[in-house]
Amino acid sequence: MSIPRSEYLSSQWIENRVVFVTGGAGSICSAQTRAMVYLGANACIIGRNAQKTESVAADIATARKGAKVLAIACDVRDVQSLSNAAERCVKELGSIDFLIAGAAGNFVAPITGLTSNGFKSVMDIDALGTFNTVKATIPYLIESAARNPNPSTNGLTGGRIICISATFHYTGMPMQAHVAAAKAAVDSISSSVALEFGPYGITSNVIAPGGIEGTEGMERLASSKATKDMTKHIPLGRLGTLRDVADATVYLFSDAGNYVNGNVLVVDGADWRNKGMGVGRDPDMQYPDFLLKGEFSKFVKTGRKEKPKL
């Protein structure tokens, strides 16, 4: 007797669904969104820079003929603006079935050179921004989960959340105290969401990327002189790719991820288990010498006019 395919293999197609993405114009989140759009979803991407967000949305829409990708300029720290964006998304695209909370801020700075405002800014964008995003979209996600019972009966899903985190807080990382604190909070928020909204059919998980090549995040954290040396410490011997993160996203949002809830999916080639890549240092800068000398790499993109003083 043949066994129905649905009993041993799930569907990975995402048809007629809508994904709401904060930080959607960034390298990683735009790749996640593109994968979802290719598989059949429409999308609403949120970013602070209106021109960049609109340009990225137009480009993502080319992934599938007839795809709709809405761009909205919004700061995740602005609660009302974010609520308005979610409402507009539902009005124009019909629903919010999936959420990617990916807005983030980062830069290299030792604690002695990190201002309270700098620390607060990262906490506000990453941690508070994730909280605000969940609050703004959860009513629509609950509705989607109700329309798409878990386990799925038709291969389609809804009511799913992914928060984008990092691995710095697992072991600690010099010059990343602000980010480690913020991402620890993001992980905790996601866990609470899984517990509080799981009974409504919501799943909430975290993707924690490692070093992903070709991203602005790598430019801000890793010295351009140290990339080759860095891969020697990664068990798989390479940096991650945007596709690696997109594939993890498809897994968690698709029928294949039905029973995955309240978890952190690390996509870093086991780098964090080998104490993680060095942030803000060149190949010849050894721990703790570079810290004691008050140095860090001149080959990282700071996004600031001046490097923080040690």
pLDDT tens digits, one per residue of 137-191? 999 999 999 999 999 888 899 999 999 999 999 999 888 999 999 999 999 999 9
Single pTM value for the model: 0.90
User: pLDDT by residue (tens digit) across 22-78?
Assistant: 999 999 999 999 999 999 999 999 999 999 999 999 999 999 999 999 999 999 999
In a domain? residue 180: yes
Q: What is the pLDDT of residue 5?
A: 72
The pLDDT of residue 295 is above 60: yes
Write out the H or E segment, with its range, that includes residue 218. Answer: helix 216-221
In a domain? residue 260: yes
Q: How many residues does the chain have?
A: 310
Half-sphere exposure of residue 187: CA atoms within 13 angstroms, side-chain side? 19
Q: Report CA-CA distances (Å) from 7 to 49, 102, 154, 248, 298.
A: 45, 33, 12, 22, 55
Q: Kindly calculate the radius of gyration of the chain based on its CA atoms and give it in whole angstroms.
A: 20
User: pLDDT by residue (tens digit) across 193-215?
Assistant: 999 999 999 999 999 999 999 88
Among the listed residues 27, 30, 165, 190, the single catalytic one is 165
Q: What is the pLDDT of residue 305?
A: 47
Domain residue limits at 242: 12-292
Count helices and strands (H / E) in the chain. 11, 7
Q: Is 83 a catalytic residue?
A: no
In a domain? residue 301: no
Among the listed residues 183, 190, 191, 223, the single catalytic one is 183
- DSSP-based three-state secondary structure for 222: coil
Distance (Å, rounded) from C-alpha 219 to C-alpha 167? 17
Q: What is the pLDDT of residue 8?
A: 73
In a domain? residue 40: yes
- Does 72 or 282 have the greater pLDDT score? 72
Q: What is the pLDDT of residue 228?
A: 66
Counting the structural domains of the chain, the total is 1
In a domain? residue 159: yes
Average pLDDT of the segment spanning 206-227 = 78
The pLDDT of residue 309 is above 50: no
In a domain? residue 298: no
Q: What is the CATH number of the domain that holds 244?
A: 3.40.50.720
The pLDDT of residue 256 is above 60: yes
In a domain? residue 300: no
